Amino acid sequence: MNSSDDHRGRSEAPSLVYIYADESCLGNQFRSRANPGGAAGLIEQFRPGRGWARKDFARYEPDTTNNRMALRSGIVGLSALRRRSDVVFTSDSQYLVRGMKEWIHGWARRGWRRKGGEIENVELWRELADVARQHRVEWRWIRGHAGHAKNEYANMLAVRTATTGVGIEGLTPSGFDAWIQAKIDAGSLVDYLDVPPEEPFEPDPAPPAP
């Protein structure tokens, strides 16, 4: 995604990039077999007079966990941006959102350890910190399966990826418009309005150097 518009006047601030991400891991309850997972999401940017530009991403892993795929959704989503951007990153993973808003700063001060010892998935946390430092990011949590259209779409992408074993190489034109229209036609998500969120952008402190 390109966070600027070449036709925009110099005095106009670049519009926000919105990322809605979710993760899926199949068979988490089993310890004796591989648990395939998907990390996926929607990246979008609204340009006045031109409307939404939307892309999808999805990453498959053959044996993983929900927490690892939540982190992977942040790494893949933010890595897809081609230049420094102001980003609102929305996820229903408290592990991801609280980690990036709260926990990661204390871990770095303690030499990438937590008070109780080693950090789970520390290599992914450090990779995500490195990617996120390239942007200004506000991490927003949303309750999953609560009727938020873009969270539901990201969940569909993640489950499909985990189930089929097929991810997306880079970014692909989004299927969100057709998906939401099908939902509305079926009587679901009928209150959806395709407008930018009204909440002001409040970026979180930059993550520490990995």
For residue range 113-122, list pLDDT tens digits in order. Answer: 988 889 999 9
Q: Residue 69 belongs to a domain with what CATH number?
A: 3.30.420.10
- In this prediction, residue 41 carries a pLDDT of 98
Confidence of residue 28 (pLDDT cuts 50, 70, 90): low
Tell me if 23 is assigned to some domain. yes
- In this prediction, residue 33 carries a pLDDT of 76
**Average pLDDT of span 85-94:** 98
What is the edge-to-edge ordering of all strands in the sheet holding 51-61? Answer: 136-141, 86-91, 17-25, 37-47, 51-61, 172-173
Tell me if 167 is assigned to some domain. yes
Tell me if 58 is assigned to some domain. yes
Tell me if 134 is assigned to some domain. yes
Place of tokens 């709260």: 102
**Number of structural domains found in the chain:** 1
- In this prediction, residue 8 carries a pLDDT of 40
Tell me if 153 is assigned to some domain. yes
pLDDT tens string 33-76: 789 999 999 999 999 889 999 999 999 999 999 999 999 999 99
| Contact present, 18 and 78 (Cβ < 8 Å) | no
Segment among 8-12, 85-89, 134-138 with least mean pLDDT: 8-12
Tell me if 65 is assigned to some domain. yes
pLDDT tens string 93-108: 999 999 999 999 999 9
The pTM of the full predicted model, rounded to 2 decimals, is: 0.91
Tell me if 199 is assigned to some domain. no
**Average pLDDT of span 9-17:** 61
| Domain, as residue range, for 79 | 17-185
Tell me if 159 is assigned to some domain. yes
pLDDT tens string 66-83: 999 999 999 999 999 999
- In this prediction, residue 5 carries a pLDDT of 42
Burial of 172 (0-12, 13-18, 19+ CB in 10 A): exposed
User: Sign (positive/negative) of CA torsion 189, 195, 196, 198?
Assistant: negative
